[in-house]
Structure 1
């Protein structure tokens, strides 16, 4: 897996928070007596937004149409321009259509023209922050978010914008503080989703899963619940539990059958389980629904791994020539592994110089430098990517290969084995290469004390042998056991503890009672 899959659904949650702040809660005019009519699609989208929930895409489209029509007759309505801009941004993010972003920018700037920021137009400023984040312009997103926070510190939708911006800039401490402030100000699925992201970034896997289960249980709409269940699938996949991930993605797709992130997640889980034909089918569906740069790269590598080189090259070319936002990491990794590594270095150095210093950019730049024949410089970036806390099999594999190139045999063996322990099928290409690299390094000397020997990768013959009770743990300092199952009940609002429970059963339970198939 080439990128951090949780980030896309988390970003959508942040854009939805901005829509919640800007949407107009209008009430249909009642004629005569009797109960009010049921809400129409546009009103459903507005009600969902005010609850901090994702609206169904058809309802979101109806809201856009409704505001466009209203504004033709009332062009001086700054609040409606802000709501329209936020809705464009959310739709563009959720369907991967960048054409909505210029529309969003025009609407938001028109809102500020009708009512400037100096006169308190916070909604348009929030919208511009979310739009900058959707475009991957983290510095601008941070500036808008901090303006709103300064003007109205209690305005909770500012904090998802800031969390995304800080993460994109690699300022994880600021992101954690913003997450804590968001929890003080607001409750609900969007807040628990943010908590899951923060725990994941620190390597606290059990806590991340518990918070994501809370988000699924608290979701207000099928669209939001599908996003939450897809996030649970991502977490299961990242810790190497392909079968559990498959079940969680399946739960999401039963709610929203064309949910793009879950189609992509199910494709990678099926590939990890060896069900290649089904995986290729789902990749085709995912790319038709949500053609993101990271999905093109991942699908292309599966095609390459199974010998379908022509199809792989077509996807790589589509990625290489597309007009993408937030595509620098995927394009850099494409050049590093399947093109010109020197070009990847130039691209990713430019991204780093922009201040975009997330672990994803650090890892990609380190890998590009290694592939371009500069392993010594690569090592610092690779260590930065793995030191933050996120437990990524791909990042750890990259570090191991860089160390192997530098002749650091012990650390290389340790990190290559660790990558395969985190997720033994993390990539259709690179998992196999990690195994080959370990074979090339050879066995450890018999003279090495047993307590210093690393645990063998999951699934290997040696992994089945009895383990010494003093084997070293891989969990981050201060974190719960990294590979423990999630426990407790959903919607607890706290870290899981107590009796162990199956993550799949818990996610299915979270889905029940909310599905309206």
Structure 2
């Protein structure tokens, strides 16, 4: 029930449900996993940290170490996140091929976040050896290929991943490569498909993906801001704050955007996209020094953090010189 509530974005209910179970079964590690997940989604990071520590103390399994990795990543501890996910990948039951591949993909993701593309690709390749045609690994490798400018192979990998399971992120990534290559018709089909997928997901849809997509492409900005504002009222996690700040920036409300982007940076997460948004907001406010610092930080963290936006960060930095 708890995981279903999370799937349908009923985070407060998921948290309440896990808290009730905790009272009845205080020694059950899976309950602390549910507490971690719900608190992370709601932006209750201190509570998430406490829950995951209890979980790993009770039972140091793949599930607990994977969560330790995610929480460390949120707190800006990339080395610690990589270490914990590496442990998760090593201690998972070798018969559980998909679980092992899942860990390797997330290990690759942690490397990718900080611009370590070769190491990231190595993990995605290992995941594909363990569990061939795994769509998350295909998409991950697509991102590493795009990051080094190998768009032909990136398109191939994203297309394979999309044909397996058309996830919104993969669909948008393929659209972005088409946009970058000047194939506007193909790109539009991808973005339309992304909207269609989120619509079909109903209550399980993560509307924030559309709010980010529309803001990035300067379309449907009123609808995007409505989604971001509504989501931020429900949850105070850093990624929702980031998307709201970006939408406020796109509507020209730089002061409000700055206040919200500070929320998104409160854990010192090493997230190039958040730094990029912070830099653009400072640029909008006319603070050239602060803008340049954040834009440089974004590109130092990951010079290919986004197929389209990383180029815009470089362009904005040039304009500030």
User: Does the 8 Å CA contact 2:158/2:173 hold for their aligned counterparts?
Assistant: no
For residues 390-421 of structure 1, what are the alpha-carbon distances to aligned partners after superposition, in whole Å with 9 as ceiling and x for unaligned?
Answer: 11001100110011000011110000000000
1:15-414 matches, within 5 Å, as 128-220=1-93, 221-322=96-197, 323-324=200-201, 325-338=204-217, 339-354=219-234, 356-414=235-293
User: Does the 8 Å CA contact 2:68/2:81 hold for their aligned counterparts?
Assistant: yes
User: Does the 8 Å CA contact 1:293/1:327 hold for their aligned counterparts?
Assistant: no
SS, match of residue 387 in structure 1? coil
Number of aligned positions between the proteins = 314
Output the CA distance in 1 between the equivalents of 2:35 and 2:173: 29
Q: Runs of 4 or more off by more than 6 Å in structure 1?
A: none
**Distance apart, 1:236 and its partner CA:** 0.7
For residues 418-443 of structure 1, what are the alpha-carbon distances to aligned partners after superposition, in whole Å with 9 as ceiling and x for unaligned?
Answer: 0000001111111111111111001x
* Greater relative contact order (CA < 8 Å, ≥ 6 in sequence): 1
Question: Under a length normalisation based on structure 2, what TM-score does the superposition of the two structures give?
Answer: 0.95
User: Does the 8 Å CA contact 2:249/2:281 hold for their aligned counterparts?
Assistant: yes
SS, match of residue 179 in structure 1? helix
Output the CA distance in 2 between the equivalents of 1:137 and 1:318: 25
Structure with more of its chain in helix, by fraction: 2
Output the CA distance in 2 between the equivalents of 1:294 and 1:300: 10
Output the CA distance in 2 between the equivalents of 1:168 and 1:297: 23
Correspondence 1:429 to 2:302: no
Correspondence 1:419 to 2:293: no
Question: Under a length normalisation based on structure 1, what TM-score does the superposition of the two structures give?
Answer: 0.59
For residues 26-63 of structure 1, what are the alpha-carbon distances to aligned partners after superposition, in whole Å with 9 as ceiling and x for unaligned?
Answer: xxxxxxxxxxxxxxxxxxxxxxxxxxxxxxxxxxxxxx
Output the CA distance in 2 between the equivalents of 1:263 and 1:439: 34
RMSD over equivalenced CA pairs, Å: 1.2
User: Does the 8 Å CA contact 1:203/1:391 hold for their aligned counterparts?
Assistant: yes
User: Does the 8 Å CA contact 1:336/1:368 hold for their aligned counterparts?
Assistant: yes
For residues 192-247 of structure 1, what are the alpha-carbon distances to aligned partners after superposition, in whole Å with 9 as ceiling and x for unaligned?
Answer: 11111111111111111111111111010222111111111001100101111111
SS, match of residue 159 in structure 1? helix
